[in-house]
Chain A
């Protein structure tokens, strides 16, 4: 079956612009996660959705970052007034259930969106 997909694969924008990054999770997965990975680093947690609601948004760096998942499937990460420091690979992952010790909570990752802010 189809895995997690993310669009666009690459996005180049200018400082100060607004961008939207899209994630299509695996069908039926209730949990959806956004992570950010800077060059040479491990991914960092941004936000987690359980269904339509943001269950944990403690990783969002500031109020320029916002994410939605209005129908409990596709999610959009929105970044306002982009800064050069926002340049990174933005990863999305989904799981059947929230993270835990069961097979159903294994996270499946998308290919990522590489964001470059000039």
Chain B
């Protein structure tokens, strides 16, 4: 079993829909990261959080340390949000990544 599990693996949505991507992990961590990767592109860090909730524009990330679970929400989704969203955790000095959620938003 992977130490970081994401769901769903693939997600399609219509423009304007509210989107949720889930991440569960099985190790103790100091922080959890949400990352965005566009096709053929590099990885961009969206959030790093260790408790509670963070918001940046239309993106919201929450974490429940006791349940070892995090969610990434996208409000009013747009085609430019289409990308792979990766959850990663840092138990020590390195990141352990999930396999990613491929999101496609259609106009």
Contacts and interface: CB of A to CB of B under 8 A. Distances in A.
Nearest to A3: B42
A41 B98 CA distance: 8
B46 to A, nearest CB: 10
A113 to B, nearest CB: 11
Interface residues of A, number: 29
Interface in A59-110: 59, 91, 93, 98-101, 103, 105-110
Given A107-B45, A111-B42, A41 B90 contact: no
13 contacts: A33-B95, A41-B100, A42-B97, A42-B98, A42-B99, A91-B43, A98-B93, A99-B90, A103-B48, A105-B90, A107-B33, A108-B45, A109-B43
Interface of A: 31, 33, 35, 40-45, 48, 50, 55-56, 59, 91, 93, 98-101, 103, 105-112
